[in-house]
Each structure stands twice: as C-alpha cells, then as structure tokens.
Amino acid sequence: MTKVSSLGYPRLGENREWKKLIESYWARKISQEDLFAEAKQLRLAFLKKQADAGLDLIPVGDFSLYDQILDLSVQFNIIPKRFAKDENDIDLYFAIARGNKENVASSMKKWFNTNYHYILPEWSKQKPQLTNQRLLDLYVEAREVVGDKAKPVITGPITYVALSTGVEDFTAAVKSLLPLYRQIFTELVEAGASYIQVDEPIFATDEGADYLEAAKAVYAYFAKEVPQANLIFQTYFEALINAEVLSDLPVAAFGLDFVHGLEDNLAAVESGLFKDKEVFAGVVDGRNVWANDFVSTSQLLTSLQDKVGSLVIQPSCSLLHVPVTTNNETDLDPVLQKGLAFADEKLLEIKLLADELDGIDNPVYQEHIAQYDALQQADFRNVALENIDEVATRRSSDFAERHQVQQDKLKLPLLPTTTIGSFPQSQEIRRTRLSWKRGNIGDQAYTDFIKAEIERWIRIQEDLDLDVLVHGEFERVDMVEFFGQKLAGFTTTKLGWVQSYGSRAVKPPIIYGDVQHIQPLTVEETVYAQSLTDRPVKGMLTGPITITNWSFERTDIPRAQLFNQIGLAIKDEIKLLEDADIAIIQVDEAALREGLPLRKAKQKAYLDDAVHAFRIATSSVKDETQIHTHMCYSKFDEIIDSIRELDADVISIETSRSHGDIIESFETAVYPLGIGLGVYDIHSPRVPTKEEVVANIERPLRQLSKEQFWVNPDCGLKTRQEKETVAALEILVAATKEVREKLGN
C-alpha cells in the first residue's frame, strides 16, 4: 500500500486559536503555565486530525510558538549578543523575535519566495550547544497520540547556516552544529522515530550549488555517526539543484516538489537517478488553494512509481502556507467552494490519490474529478478587458522634470516626513467593523464611525507636524483583502487565515476570474481626509504584483496576464483619485521581491513582467501627480535595476530590522529617484530613541542626496498600539528636525 505523508500543518488553528493564545500571553492575560498547557492541547488536536485523515507519517516539530528557525536558534544557543544577559526562557525567545525595551529585535526575512517570515539567526562567535530537548520532547508527546506515525521535522544544518547572518566561516559554522544534530538524531532514533525529515530547501535554489561539497560531507557524517537514522532529505518550492550529485547522498529518502519543480524533478527521476531511492513526492500544491487535477496527478504518480525505488505521496511543501479547512466557507459560490482545497482537504487529496494508485475504487475520487471539471468550465474567466496595447507604460516626462513640477505644487520641506499608510486598528475599530458585518449597525453609522477615526488621526498627524498625511486605512482589514472585496474576479473567505509572521495572520483573497475595476475603491475616504487639511494626503493603493503575490491566484492563465489585468484595474482607480485632486498616490509593491523565482534563469522574465504591470497602473498620470511605492524585507541589490525601472517618484523601504544593511544597495547604486529608508521598526512594540532615528537618517545621507530623501517608519502601523505609535512618530519628527538644522534648513 502506498504511504501518505505531510511536511507540516497550519499552526493558526481553524479560528486562529494559536494567534489568540500567543497574544494573550504577550498581554499578560495568561500565565506561562497556561500558555504551555494550551499550546499542547492545540498540538495534540492537530496531530489527531492528521491521524484521522489517514496519514502514515505525521510531522512533529513543525508546531512553534513563533517560528521554526527561531526555535532552532534558541535550541542551538545562537542567541544575539545583545540578549546574552537575559535568561534563556520563553520571554527571551519572544524578545529576540519582537524586541524589548533594551534591545531591538532580530531581523525578519521572507521564507524563500513565500509570505511567511522567519527570524534571522545571528552568529557572533557563540559556542553552539543544545539548550533544550525540544524536538525529542515533542516526538515523545506525539507518540502517545499517533504512535509510530510520528515523523520528527527539523531544518537541516546547511540551510540553517545559509539563512543566517554574521557567519564568518560557513564550513566551520556547519561543523559546529553537526554534533548537536547527531545527538538530536540519536535520541530520536532511540525513542522510536522511523523517519526524520530534514528540511534543506536551500538546495532548491541556485545558491544550493555552492553547498554540494558541504552536503556530501554533512550527510556522510550522519550516515556514519547515526547509521540507524532514516533521514528524508526534503526540498521544496523548486526542483532539486544538481540532482546528479545530491541523489547520491547516503540518506533513506528524498522529498521532491513535483508542483513547483515538476519539469526538472521529473527529468531527474526519468533519467534513473532515483531508481533505487525512496521518493516522497510532493504532488499536491501546498501553497495554493485549488483542488488537485486528479487525472494528470494520477498519471504522474503512475509514471513515478515505475521509476523510483519506492514512493510516498505528500503535499509539495508544508501546509503552513494555506488555510485550515474549506468547511467554513459556506457563502462562496458552490462550484468555486467545491473547487478549493485548504490544508484538511489536501490531506484527503493525497489519501485519495494513494488509494487510486493502489487500485482502490473510491467514489469520492470520481466526485472530486467532476467538481474539478465544473470549476474549469465555469463562466467567469472570460471577460472583455481594456486593450492593453493602448495603455501608456511610460510617464510623459522624466523624473527630474516631474520632480520640479511636483515640488512647485507641493512645496515640501527638506526631508519630508510621512508614514507608510495604515494607523493602529484598535479593538473599537475591529468591534465596530464586526458589528457592521453582522448587521448590528447600519451602513451610515459605520461610515460615520470611519470618518470620525479619519478626522481624529488627521488631527493627530497635524499635531505631530508630519508633512504628508494619510487617511489611516481604518476601513480596511488588510491591504490586499480589501481590494479583493471590491474588484471583479476576486472572492474573499470567512476564515481563510494564513500565518505571515509571529502572530500576524492574513486572509488572502482568491483570484478566480478575470479582474476588473467595477467601482471606486478608495476615493471616498481619501477625498474626505484631504478635505480636512491643507497638507497633502496620500491616496493609498496596493500594486498589481503585491495583490497577486498575496492572493491565492488562478493558475489557468500566465502570471503576466494576471499582473496586467490587475494593473489595468489599479490604473482606473488612480485616475479617479487624480480627478479628485489627490496629488500624491502611493501604489505599494511590498511583495515584489517576494515573488522572485528561486532560479536566476527565471528571474528576468518575472521582473520584466512586474515592471510592465506597475507601469500600466501608474504611467497615465500627469507630471504633477507624485507616485510613491513601498517595499519591505528584500535583497534589494538583486533587483535594484528593476526598482529603478518602476519609475516611481518616491520609494519607501524597510531598513530598520536589517540594521542598515539594505541601505548599502542604494549607497552603491546610482538611484536618482526619491527614497524613504524606514528609520524605525514597526514590527516591534519598542519605541526608538531619537539618537537611533537620527543615526538612521544620517547614514544614508552620506551617499544619497538630501533632496531625494524622505523620512518614514519602515512599514504600516496597523498592528501597533496608539500610544506607542504617537510616541515613535514624535521622535521621528523631532529627529528629522534636528537633522534639518544640522543641514542648515
């Protein structure tokens, strides 16, 4: 019988129970003992659910109280130096992730090309050592529930070090961890682990080619030191790099992604590289929500079965990246709802695929195929759209000319201050929105409430003496979901939450049809805010690439076509704002870098498509209309040319959590446009000191022109509390004025 496995399960819970638990502890509403006890109940419930779904191998160790990479850092004693005096407990763990009064948080980076963020390990000559038995304890706990189906999961040493910062000698760092992994593996085997999943996704990237010799040495070491450990060398998000070399590693099995790395991984299998190997085949998409095409997948599995030593069926990656279940989505169109598969449905899919491969006739398999076909034939994917060839893709004047026109109109001071767009969404705002959605208050009462919040925050911004204001986005749950609720071709869910970072969850909309602008999206709130002040108020939009990357996108058309459809819709909204005399319009592309393919050979086409779609959205405006954009957590040196090609008048960028490293991308490149490098970290509750903000303003001014520089936080302020937000912005403005005085302005 064909075995079925999974790589990881969503932590959030069906109703975000995990998020609420963590935040209750941060707010000191529950004790440490309650935190641990309730977290255990969640873990056990998740294990039981996966066992009931028929999994033969159930992941253990994927559950975390914040992030799985942070778990390893604390376990291995890779503690940032500034936290060295803190007791190694759960509060230190959270402090590394979120910062505290004394110390800034560790940097946060995207997990490869996903919207999940991990906490960057910081090496600074610490001596790696095991500080706890976390994975062993979780495995022993899991065995009591699911027996020998429990499969420990751990990020491998090469990927862990490759994703770290401060590593002076890569080989030495990896070697220093090997005895720790050996001890972990030995204890797991002695406790009864039949397999151990070792995640090495770095070997699905081009960078992995640099670590082939390291892989040979590391896995030879494990084979010698813990020969009884059946290790699964697990990759995902792309094909295995250099399968000719890596397929010879002395491991028990290989986990390969046959969704996002189908072509190359299939070629490697067909060449005979895995004919004597056990392959864990990721054939169900762990990153998107569409039901699997059973006909083509069953054909693929039949082909694989004949060309590998043995076959295990699983999702392409951890199900962390999708919501929990479609059972709650009763308001969706029935054809659409039955054409979706969240985590629980994907577990059913792999079981049905295994049964079909084993010749077990299951009527649910045929029912699934009928539902899949019904979605493909639905009549919402062929809408007449504007002719893309008739839309401007270049501004009518170059930046230098536009900049002078804009400055004459806006009359902004040196180092203009602004924010990224959103302000704190208080409990009152959330309660009022929920009451409105439930019909407990009427549309006019809700509109009046939102307008009152907008006016209150316009006054706060004026009192703070910010130069360019925002309306605060109080009407928006999320910067992408909001647009998904108003554009044709999108739908949104009730409980389709996905973890982004820490306890932050997002509810990505689903793009199921052709996208169109069918109503004003942001005009009413923006125009109202502008009517309250003489200072410019930015119109706030999300760009086509970010909307795509932070949605569950349709896969039946090329991505470039989808980018362009959304670009046309945003263009129409920009025209409405411009006609309403909104002089500054920000089109956020926070996720542009996130969607970059992992292989360099595929990156240029993506970036060209992204730039084209952004220009479709923004190039039709007048010279005096100033276009801003925003990006976060990126390796900007990789895409600096494409950022320049966007031709946005001003770009704001996260730099504070990277402790200034990102600034180097712009210090060493000729970047002629306006730029705001985030001067404090909004993902931490910590209020910065004025000295820190002054330093964060002055450093880039050593290379960048003072005329092109803007001052802003590094991201939106929605998740922060009002008191800390106002305090931090007071410091931002005071620091800016101090630097202006130093510059003689």
Do 366 and 431 reside in the same domain of the chain? Answer: no
Same domain, 280 and 152: yes
Residues 485 and 570 in one domain: yes
E-assigned strands of 438-486?
none
- Considering the domain architecture, whether residues 453 and 563 belong to the same structural domain is answered as yes
Q: Is 404 among the domain residues? A: no
Q: How many domains does the chain divide into?
A: 2
> Is there a binding annotation on residue 317?
no
- Give pLDDT, residue 658: 53
Cα end-to-end span (Å), the chain: 76
Domain finish residue from 376, 402, 430: 376
Mean pLDDT of all residues in 11-17: 96
Does 403 reside within a domain? no
CATH code of 504's domain: 3.20.20.210
Judge whether 549 is annotated as a binding position.
no
Q: Which of 20-29, 214-223, 342-351, 433-442 has the lowest mean pLDDT?
A: 433-442
SS3 52: helix
Identify any residues that bridge with 315 across adjacent strands, giving them in sequence order.
Answer: 284
Q: Which residues of 111-136 are buried (b: 16+ CB within 10 A; e: fewer)?
A: bbbbbbbbbbbbbeebebebeeebbb
Q: Which residues pair with 576 in a beta bridge?
A: none
Residue with structure tokens 């739908």?
A: 491
Query: Which pLDDT band, with edges at 50, 70 and 90, does 525 fall under?
Result: very high
pTM for this predicted structure? 0.90
553-576 tens-digit pLDDT: 999 899 999 999 999 999 999 999
Total residue length of the chain = 745
**Share above pLDDT 70 across residues of the chain, in percent, rounded to a whole number:** 97
Tell whether 344 and 454 lie within a shared domain: no
Are residues 466 and 351 located together in one domain of the fold? no
State which H helix or E strand residue 428 sits in: helix 427-437
Own/partner pairs, 165-172, CB within 8 angstroms, 24+ separation: 165/107, 165/120, 165/121, 165/122, 165/123, 166/122, 166/123, 166/124, 167/123, 168/123, 170/214, 171/214
Boundary (domain end) residue, out of 352, 376, 400: 376
Q: In the predicted model, what is the mean pLDDT of residues 488-506?
A: 95
553 is in an annotated binding site: no
Residue 384 in domain = no
Q: Which helix (H) or strand (E) holds 493?
A: none
DSSP 100: -
Q: Is 715 annotated as a binding residue?
A: yes
pLDDT at 719: 83
Catalytic positions, please? 683
Asked if residue 232 and residue 285 are part of one domain, the reply reads yes
Condensed to tens digits (0 to 9), the pLDDT of residues 420-443 reads: 999 999 889 989 998 998 999 999
- Is residue 401 domain-resident? no
Query: β-pairing, 196-199 with 487-491?
Result: unpaired
The type of residue at 478 is D
Mean pLDDT for 316-329 is 97
Look at the block and give the residue holding tokens 């009518």: 396
CA-to-CA separations, 464 to 128, 530, 717, 734, in angstroms, rounded: 46, 17, 15, 9
Determine the average pLDDT of the residues in 670-699: 85
442 is in an annotated binding site: no
420 is in an annotated binding site: yes
Residue 632 and residue 713 in contact, taking contact as beta carbons nearer than 8 Å: no
Whether residue 422 is found in the same domain as residue 363 = no
32-52 and 17-26 helices, crossing angle to 10°? 170
pLDDT for the residue numbered 659: 46
d(CA 118, CA 502) in angstroms, rounded, equals 9
Q: Does some domain include residue 392?
A: no
- Phi, psi of 524, rounded to the nearest 5 degrees: -60, -50
Distance of CA 313 to the CA centre of its chain: 26
602 in the same domain as 543: yes
Query: Any binding-site annotation on 550?
Result: yes
For residue 298, what pLDDT band results from cuts at 50, 70 and 90?
A: very high
Q: What is the 3-state secondary structure (H, E, C) of 371-415?
A: HHHHHHCCCCCCCCCCCHHHCCCCCCCCHHHHHHHHHHHHCCCCC
Distance CA 386, CA 516 (A): 9
Q: Is 632 annotated as a binding residue?
A: yes
Q: Has residue 396 been placed in a domain?
A: no
For residue range 337-348, what is the model confidence (pLDDT) as tens digits? 999 999 999 999
225 labeled binding residue: no
Mean pLDDT for 273-299 is: 98
In a domain, residue 39? The reply is yes
92 and 138 share one domain: yes
Separation between Cα atoms, residue 344 and residue 621, nearest integer Å: 46
How far is Cα of residue 654 from the mean position of the Cα atoms in its chain? 15
Residue 386 in domain = no
Q: Is 588 annotated as a binding residue?
A: yes
Q: Is the pLDDT of residue 633 over 80?
A: no
Do residues 530 and 462 both lie within one domain? yes
31 is in an annotated binding site: no
With a cut of 70, say whether residue 12 has pLDDT above it: yes
Burial class (CB in 10 A: 0-12, 13-18, 19+), 629: buried
- What are 369's two structure tokens? 């195929």
Rounded-to-integer distance, Cα 413 and Cα 406, Å: 12
pLDDT digits (tens, 9 = 90+) for 464-490: 999 999 999 999 988 899 999 999 999
pLDDT band at 661 (very low <50, low <70, confident <90, very high): low
* Between residues 108 and 153, the one the model is more confident about: 153
Give the pLDDT mean for 487-508: 95
* Half-sphere exposure for 466 (CA within 13 Å, toward CB): 30
Structure tokens at 469: 């204001």
State pLDDT tens for residues 710-729.
999 988 888 889 999 999 99
pLDDT, tens digit (0-9, with 9 covering 90-100), for 362-389: 999 999 999 999 998 887 766 767 788 8
468 lies in the same domain as 423: yes
For residue 431, give every residue at least 6 positions away whose Cβ sits within 8 Å of its Cβ, in sequence order, or none: none
Q: 557: domain range?
A: 413-742
Mean model confidence pLDDT for the chain: 93
- 585 forms bridges with which residues in the sheet? 539, 627
What is residue 652's three-state secondary structure? strand
Q: Which of 351, 376, 401 is the last residue of a domain?
A: 376
